[in-house]
A and B are shown apart, each in its own frame.
Chain A
Amino acid sequence: MIEVEDLQIYFRQKKQKLFSFNTEYLKAVDHVSFTIKRGETFGLVGESGSGKSTVGKGILRYYNLTGGNITFDGTEIGYQKEKELLPIRKKMQSIFQDPYASLDPSHTVKDIICEPMEIHKLYDKSERKERACELLEMVGMNKNDILRYPHEFSGGQRQRISIARALSINPQFILCDEPISALDVSLQAQIVHLLEGLQDKLGLTYLFISHQLQMVQQICDNIGVMFLGNLVELSDADDLYKNPLHPYTKMLLSSMLEADPGVRCLEDDIPEYKVMTRVKQGCKFSNRCPYANSRCKEEVPKLKEVAKGHYVACFQYEG
């Protein structure tokens, strides 16, 4: 359904010199390729700054691409103009991390849910209101809440309103950018349940971005692991957790804390803490990697298939 090919998104950074025209670029996303199949949940994990949100927003074309291309449902959307994008925008929506910041405080719930329908000129006024009620019930809220304001709701309820807004124009694809990170543990499970239920009912496709590995493992079919702008491992969820290949994935998985006092995660020796700078050349993980050798410092490893459906970008698994 969605094909991301060699995606590059660079941000220009100002250099602090007077009369200097050399601009530096921050490579937020560098040569990332993957495909999302219809009806699946694709997860992207990584630490903050790894470019996972940028990839997501790049797919929705909130950013202009520096290179590469994106194909959505057979149409290339990488470099289309805003006007040409509008019909495609109708098929994709997003849910953001912070339910407090992503809802306009001066709009009622009805305004919020109806806005996408107004932009895409769907339905007439009374139908929109009817649909807003319907959507609220679909996300497990009361339709009498329709004239209230966002501040009257808790975080979990606001996230439900965000979901209702995203669903209002019947999208096929929803970008979930850390939809549960700002919520309490108890609410996370609920929102995930809701998203899963809606997927079954409406046949949605999700791109699920998160740094909470446990949650991603629960709900995703395929997972990509990102590190400083590169996709370092790509696999189906079970395989990734049972058999992680890239040293970075292993590190991420080992820093999960088991909610079980019987499993001791913090007993071993304290690893040394170093300040990490971005690597200019070679594999970006090479300064943290325990297996790094001279080759890693010079060449950038490419994503290669090592087992069926399991891709990894590391020289350890080559030849």
Chain B
Amino acid sequence: MNHLLSVKDLEVSFYKESKEIRAVKGVNFHIEEGEIYGIVGESGSGKSVATKSILRLGPDNCKIKNGEILFEGDNILEKNNRELRKIRGNEISIIFQDSLTSLNPVYTIGDKLVELIRRNQKISKSDAKKRAIELLDIVGIADSKSHLKSYPHELSGGMRQRVMIAMAISSNPKIIIADEPTTALDVTIQKQILYLLKDLQKKLHTSIILITHDLGVVAQMCSRIAVMCAGYIVEEGTTEDIFYHPSHPYTKALIASVPKAGRTLERFIEKTITEEENENLCPFFSRCSYAIEKCRLALPDNYLENDKHSVRCYVRGEKLGE
């Protein structure tokens, strides 16, 4: 088992007024060195929670109940805060969706970068400043020297996201978690940021975990994809497998709901909040049009379509077409 990062049986719950809400219900995945791994799913499917748990960044009422997260062989969940700090931002870093709220408005870009660099590496302030300028150059911010003195609100959304990326790569991390990095951006800017991420991945040989709900983004960026639905990974496989041979009805429905010229949009059944769902059944059961009697009884196991393609469904694969 020589995966860079592997997540095993991860279960995360939120506690609210003594009620338990299970956000992630036993998730397994692993990241290889230098690959871009995509996680897609609707909002509320647990994709952000699962990846934030890798760095134990959940809020106070969030608890990792079960599972292990092995990073280079060590279990992150067993580390204390001090050891964890060495990993956060250093070995594994994260880019958030909303760059305006995730950058502190009272610090300049330069302050922030220098602080970050000096925390992870023992170098002088002026060296750290030089490194900061270098980083801004890498992420394509022109006139990087003068931008060190800018505050986050003075920059555009695309530039702020570049600063976030500069911060994320400051200590040459092995893994970057990108949590919806382009959702808040315009299409033209989105393309530039994705170019940048892909380029960095090639040059620095970093692995990227890309969380998004935009299927266009994963199709273009990722080598492998996991589809999440209500806390479970319902399907996992290579990009080609997922897009050309989707096996789970949920994946099929997701792909069909992408607008495309000359094709009518598929109707997608909306999830209702009020409906009490049986926790122990397939998460897509109440919306699935292929559901059989067996689905009513128990949660399906993971089946392997091929050695890289697994799916959690009784009625799977080619049978869906009939």
Are A273 and B192 in touch, CB under 8 angstroms? yes
Residues of A within 8 A of B267 (CB): 189-190, 193
Are B272 and A252 in touch, CB under 8 angstroms? no
Q: A157-B272, A217-B259, A217-B261 are in contact. Are A186 and B220 (CB under 8 A)?
A: no
Task: Count chain A CB atoms within 10 A of each CB in B195, B219, B266 and give the residue with the most.
Answer: B219
Residues of B within 8 A of A26 (CB): none
State which of A4-12, A110-118, A171-179, A257-265 sits at the interface with chain B: A257-265
Residues of A within 8 A of B258 (CB): 185, 214, 259
B269–chain A nearest beta-carbon distance, Å: 8
**Which listed residue, A152, A154, A217, A264, touches B270 by the CB 8 Å rule?**
A154
**Which listed residue, A157, A189, A261, touches B219 by the CB 8 Å rule?**
A261
Q: How many residues of A contact B (CB 8 A)?
A: 44
Which residue in chain B gives the minimum CB-CB distance to A192? B265
Are B243 and A260 in touch, CB under 8 angstroms? yes
Within 8 A of A (CB), among B215-268: 215-217, 219-221, 239-240, 243-244, 253-255, 257-261, 265-268
A274 to B187, CA, bound (A): 16
Are B239 and A273 in touch, CB under 8 angstroms? no
Are A266 and B220 in touch, CB under 8 angstroms? yes
Contact flags (1/0) for A178-217 with B, using CB distance below 8 Å? 0000001111111011000000000000000001111101
- Chain A at the B interface: SS class: loop
Q: A214-B260, A260-B243 are in contact. Are A252 and B270 (CB under 8 A)?
A: no
Are A255 and B191 in touch, CB under 8 angstroms? yes
Within 8 A of A (CB), among B268-296: 268, 270-274
A115 to B197, CA, bound (A): 48
Are A275 and B219 in touch, CB under 8 angstroms? no
Residues of B within 8 A of A157 (CB): 270, 272-273
Within 8 A of B (CB), among A249-293: 251-252, 255-262, 264-266, 270-275
Q: How many residues of B contact A (CB 8 A)?
A: 48
Residues of A within 8 A of B216 (CB): 256-259
B30 contacts A by Cβ under 8 Å = no
A156–chain B nearest beta-carbon distance, Å: 5
Q: A185-B213, A261-B240 are in contact. Are A252 and B259 (CB under 8 A)?
A: no
B43 contacts A by Cβ under 8 Å = yes
A87 to B198, CA, bound (A): 55
B142 contacts A by Cβ under 8 Å = yes
Residues of B within 8 A of A257 (CB): 190-191, 194, 214, 216-217, 219-220
A187 to B255, CA, bound (A): 12
A275 to B142, CA, bound (A): 7
Q: A217-B259, A259-B260 are in contact. Are A184 and B43 (CB under 8 A)?
A: yes
B115 contacts A by Cβ under 8 Å = no
A48 contacts B by Cβ under 8 Å = yes
Are B268 and A47 in touch, CB under 8 angstroms? no
Residues of B within 8 A of A123 (CB): none
B42 contacts A by Cβ under 8 Å = yes
A185 to B259, CA, bound (A): 9
Are A259 and B187 in touch, CB under 8 angstroms? no
A131 to B242, CA, bound (A): 45
A262 to B213, CA, bound (A): 19
Are B219 and A260 in touch, CB under 8 angstroms? yes
Which residue in chain B gives the minimum CB-CB distance to A188? B257
Are B243 and A261 in touch, CB under 8 angstroms? yes
Are A185 and B214 in touch, CB under 8 angstroms? yes
Are A186 and B257 in touch, CB under 8 angstroms? yes
Are B257 and A258 in touch, CB under 8 angstroms? no
B188 contacts A by Cβ under 8 Å = yes
Q: A257-B220, A275-B159 are in contact. Are A189 and B186 (CB under 8 A)?
A: no
Q: A259-B215, A259-B258, A266-B198 are in contact. Are A187 and B188 (CB under 8 A)?
A: no
Residues of A within 8 A of B78 (CB): none
A149 contacts B by Cβ under 8 Å = no
Which residue in chain B gives the minimum CB-CB distance to A242? B261
Are A187 and B186 in touch, CB under 8 angstroms? no
B199 contacts A by Cβ under 8 Å = yes
Within 8 A of A (CB), among B172-211: 186-192, 194-196, 198-199
B140 contacts A by Cβ under 8 Å = yes
Are A193 and B265 in touch, CB under 8 angstroms? yes
**Which listed residue, A47, A154, A259, touches B255 by the CB 8 Å rule?**
A259
Which residue in chain B gives the minimum CB-CB distance to A268? B195
Which residue in chain A gives the minimum CB-CB distance to B184? A48
A276–chain B nearest beta-carbon distance, Å: 9
Which residue in chain A gives the minimum CB-CB distance to B182? A257
Are A259 and B42 in touch, CB under 8 angstroms? no
Q: A259-B260, A260-B219 are in contact. Are A187 and B268 (CB under 8 A)?
A: yes
Residues of A within 8 A of B239 (CB): 261
Are B186 and A47 in touch, CB under 8 angstroms? yes
Within 8 A of A (CB), among B75-127: none
**Which listed residue, B42, B188, B265, touches A184 by the CB 8 Å rule?**
B42
A317 contacts B by Cβ under 8 Å = no
Residues of chain B having any CB pair with chain A under 8 Å: 42-43, 140, 142-143, 157, 159, 186-192, 194-196, 198-199, 213-217, 219-221, 239-240, 243-244, 253-255, 257-261, 265-268, 270-274
Residues of chain A having any CB pair with chain B under 8 Å: 47-48, 152-157, 184-190, 192-193, 211-215, 217-218, 241, 251-252, 255-262, 264-266, 270-275
A187-B270, A215-B259, A266-B191 known; 9 new pairs, CB 8 Å cut-off, are A185-B213, A186-B42, A186-B257, A212-B187, A217-B259, A258-B216, A262-B243, A262-B244, A275-B142
Going nearest first, the 6 A-B pairs with the smallest beta carbon separation are A257-B216, A189-B257, A214-B259, A47-B186, A255-B191, A186-B268
